[in-house]
Amino acid sequence: MSIGLIVFLAICAFVLLYGVMIYNGLVSLKHAVSKHLSNIDVLLKQRHEELPKLVATCKQYMQYEQDTLEKVIKARQQVADAQASHDMRALGAAETGLRANLGSLFALAENYPELKANDSFQQLQSRISQLENAIADRREVYNEAVNNNNVRIEQFPDVLVARWFNFKDFDLLEFSEEETRDVNIGSLFK
């Protein structure tokens, strides 16, 4: 064998191995995004299950606030629909609406001392607040994974492998600018 053929085969082997490494890295990033989205889904489902309990507790005391309670229920369904379709833009908008309506609900609860003193309400309020914080934390991790994936599939030489194997970018989970303000529900009751 000639030295030229050996060099050519070595270069081909190197390119092939490098391509496999890039492919495996891209697959890892894609699955990291899916994993982090699943973590968010778990928290959203937990909160989804707590909201009817909160509304039922509030209904006992807030007889004149039916409109606010209905808005929370409607917003809850919009989040569930967006979550089921894995549409990050719709989920971000629905989450913004739900959080705004929850904020309104908790602010109105200030007018009902019996409701504020109710143990069930306090526990639900605390649980929802904890879930909100966890969702915010997981959203940050998810967005970081999405960013890592999106940057990597655009970088050379990874872009060649990404296009060859049809790797796609993902949407960030973003809330409206209104959502970036403090959402500490617990502070409404102090």
* pLDDT the model gives residue 122: 85
* Distance from C-alpha of 185 to C-alpha of 23, rounded to nearest angstrom: 44
> For 4-28, what is each residue's pLDDT tens digit?
889 999 999 999 999 999 999 999 9
* Distance from C-alpha of 115 to C-alpha of 109, rounded to nearest angstrom: 7
Q: Where are the domains of the chain?
A: 33-189
> For 24-45, what is each residue's pLDDT tens digit?
999 999 999 999 999 999 999 9
Give the H/E segment covering residue 1. none
Q: How many CB atoms lie within 10 A of CB 93?
A: 18
**Helix (H/G/I), strand (E/B), else coil: 182:** coil
* Distance from C-alpha of 30 to C-alpha of 149, rounded to nearest angstrom: 7
Q: Is the four-CA dihedral 83, 137, 183, 179 of positive or negative sign?
A: negative
Angle made by CA atoms 130, 41, 91, in degrees to the nearest 5: 95
Query: Could you tell me the pTM of the whole model?
Result: 0.76
The architecture that CATH gives domain 33-189 is: Up-down Bundle (1.20)
* Distance from C-alpha of 76 to C-alpha of 98, rounded to nearest angstrom: 6
* pLDDT the model gives residue 107: 85
pLDDT of residue 64 exceeding 80: no
* Distance from C-alpha of 172 to C-alpha of 89, rounded to nearest angstrom: 8
Asked if residue 158 lies in contact with residue 45, where contact means CB atoms within 8 angstroms, the answer is: no
* pLDDT the model gives residue 137: 92
> For 79-119, what is each residue's pLDDT tens digit?
999 888 888 888 888 988 998 888 888 888 888 888 878 88
Angle made by CA atoms 48, 52, 58, in degrees to the nearest 5: 135
In terms of Cα–Cα distance, which of 85, 59, 61, 188 is closest to 128? 188
